[in-house]
Amino acid sequence: MRPSVPFVVASLVTGASQARAQDAVTAALCPAIDFAGFSTGAGLARVEEKLRWDAARRSYLIQGPELAQRFLYPDTTRTFAQLKSDPIHVYELPVDRTITVLDQDVCRPKIEISGRCEIAAVPGGASQPAFVFTAEYQDDCEQKPVEVAVRVERLTIGTRTGIQFSFFNAFRQIYDSGMDVYDGENVVNPGYRLK
């Protein structure tokens, strides 16, 4: 028995409105990042480093080897060696979806990467939207499971803007260290911020 036309239309409308509601929630929780900095490559050549939110794709787009390294080079179509040698490649980190990255290196033959957005409650500071990147893999060299979690938020200090990385401490169950990188500046930070 086939469903009636009104039922099918109602299901399509309901599905579309649920998708719009999910998009609105994602847009409210995901920080609208449009970061541009640089790093130095071979021969001290200046390499662009970018991170931006693409609302239409519900993804963060990353370009530049230093930023890509923070997110374990999330690309399923090319090898780790190819990605490390291509400073202009653009990586996509989708929100609320999982990427499986295979055959990246001998210690990490398979990495499960996911991203979500949430409101980050910061002790002593205002809560704000944050992107949380998570990677899980079996470290075959050390024979142990590994989970990496990085929280990314927009950063404003006086007139300087940028992004703040916070790294999850599984032992203490908090984000307790991080890096601040500023628009127009070198993203290679000589030290970490401890909370």
Q: Please indicate, yes or no, whether residues 111 and 180 belong to a single structural domain of this protein.
A: yes
Q: Please indicate, yes or no, whether residues 118 and 131 belong to a single structural domain of this protein.
A: yes
What's the domain count of the chain?
2
Q: Please indicate, yes or no, whether residues 126 and 170 belong to a single structural domain of this protein.
A: yes
Which residue segment(s) compose the domain that 15 sits in? 1-30
Q: Please indicate, yes or no, whether residues 21 and 96 belong to a single structural domain of this protein.
A: no
Long-range contacts made by residues 110-113, C-beta under 8 angstroms, separation at least 24?
110/137, 110/138, 111/72, 111/135, 111/136, 111/137, 112/136, 112/137, 113/71, 113/72, 113/74
Q: Residue 114 forms beta bridges with which residues?
A: 98, 134
Asked whether the beta carbons of 115 and 133 are under 8 A apart, the reply is: yes
Q: Please indicate, yes or no, whether residues 109 and 123 belong to a single structural domain of this protein.
A: yes
Q: Please indicate, yes or no, whether residues 72 and 2 belong to a single structural domain of this protein.
A: no
Q: Please indicate, yes or no, whether residues 98 and 180 belong to a single structural domain of this protein.
A: yes
Render each residue's pLDDT in the chain as its tens digit; 195 residues: 555 555 545 555 555 555 555 555 666 799 999 999 999 877 888 999 999 999 999 999 999 999 998 898 899 888 878 888 888 999 999 999 999 998 778 888 899 999 999 998 766 667 889 999 999 999 999 999 999 999 999 998 899 999 999 999 888 888 887 889 999 999 987 555 655
Residue 160, φ and ψ in degrees, nearest 5: -90, 140
Q: Please indicate, yes or no, whether residues 26 and 70 belong to a single structural domain of this protein.
A: no
> Rounded distance, CA 94 to CA 25, Å?
15
pTM, two decimals, is 0.80
Q: What is the pLDDT of residue 5?
A: 55
Q: Please indicate, yes or no, whether residues 23 and 36 belong to a single structural domain of this protein.
A: no
Q: Please indicate, yes or no, whether residues 26 and 38 belong to a single structural domain of this protein.
A: no
H helix or E strand, kind and range, residue 145: strand 144-157
Nearest alpha-carbon partner for 73 in 105, 47, 107: 105
150: Cα separation from own chain's centroid: 8
Q: Please indicate, yes or no, whether residues 9 and 79 belong to a single structural domain of this protein.
A: no
Q: What is the pLDDT of residue 86?
A: 87
Q: Please indicate, yes or no, whether residues 136 and 165 belong to a single structural domain of this protein.
A: yes
